[in-house]
Amino acid sequence: MSSKGVISVLVIDDSAHNRRTLSTMLESEPDVRVVDRAADGEEGLKKVVDLKPDVVTLDLEMPKLGGYTFLRLLMRTAPTPVIVISSYSHRSDVFKALELGAFDFIAKPQHPTFEAMEALRVELLEKVRAARHVRPGYRHAAPGARAMAVAGEPPLVVAVGASTGGPPAVQRVLEGLAVEPTPCVLVCQHMPPQFTRAFADRLDRIGPFSVTEARDGDLVQPGHVYIAPGGRHMVVAERGSRLELHTPPSTPVDKYAPSVDRLFVSMAQVLGAKALGVVLTGMGADGAEGARAVHHAGGEVWAQSEETSVVFGMPGEAIATGVVKRVIPLGDIGPALAALARRRR
């Protein structure tokens, strides 16, 4: 962190207009200072080494040295929290950037109205401030083989909540769970609309489960992972002897959509003592209220350990409720879920 608590930021973007816009947004608050700007990855890498900023904002498509190569070199030589600024048209690129070590991403508004740009400013400042809590993320092992869906009722349904640092963490959990492909996993990852579908598609290609963005009325099936759609919620309901998913729209009072709390509460109401919620890395307290509901219904709540979380906000808040049964390093969560699934069969 820079002196006097001011967060120093380097802005890297090949568009002069974007550099000016982001700089103005960042310096609209006194605790953030733009130390410099760079027009490409090569220039940006040199300035990171020279200036040692607290945070970097990065456009992935740049001349000379592209965003992916920049991230690989940066994480090898001068690891620094990076926030990717992405357009909706390149949403699939975001997940590769996160795997390469980017801290988080922000989607550019499709229509730059005053309200959309103000929302971008608020989100940008929130994530830059969160960077002071960044912890190094895990590198991932090679993805496992795709699991085959198993007919019949799932012996275990797992609800997973995540935010900042979540996409690579969710992938790591699924890779660790690949040895026991019978559970159904419901993932609530804070992410804008359309990006959740790209996230599901990416996880589906690399295995180990069949992964889709949840649709209203989907039946909960073993061997499947359902990603809550951005901008909507995902809740569990009963349909006779089966479970199905509903995806209600967000309301003006919702801070997060999708909401981990909403998912966990529905798990508690429908599954009772069989409910299992896992809180992964992320900013804020989403999941804490839901953790209480799962616990009071007789279910279990697990949380990712502090030393393996990119940001310990969500797991820390869940743990602070006193209802979390297990605090587990990220690399151990998947195997622990697999072991639990085998015991419950």
Q: Is 305 a catalytic residue?
A: no
User: Rg of the Cα trace of the chain?
Assistant: 20
H or E stretch at 101:
none
Catalytic residue among 8, 23, 86, 163: 163
Residue 140: active-site member: no
Judge contact between 236 and 245, C-beta under 8 A: yes
Determine contact, residues 86/102, Cβ cutoff 8 Å: no
Rounded Cα distance between 200 and 136, Å, is 24
Quick check: helix, strand or coil at residue 58?
Answer: strand
The one-letter code for the residue type at 290 is: G
The CA distance from 216 to 244, in Å, is 8
Q: Are 57 and 9 in contact (CB under 8 A)?
A: yes
Nearest to 18 by CA among 96, 68, 81, 84: 84
User: How far does the chain reach from its first CA to its final CA, in angstroms?
Assistant: 49
- The pair of structure tokens assigned to 274 is 């069989």
Type and span of the H or E element at 176: helix 166-177
| Active-site entry in 40, 224, 286, 309 | 286
- Single out the catalytic residue among 93, 190, 224, 259: 190
Phi/psi of residue 282, nearest 5 degrees: 165, 160
Torsion from C-alpha of 167, 20, 24, 112, nearest 10 degrees: -60
Q: Distance (Å, rounded) from C-alpha 195 to C-alpha 99?
A: 15
Told to judge if 3 belongs to the known catalytic residues of this protein, a careful annotator would answer no
| Bridge partners for 160 per DSSP | 187, 278
Identify which of 48, 54, 38, 66 has the alpha carbon closest to the alpha carbon of residue 4.
54
Residues carrying an active site annotation: 163, 190, 286
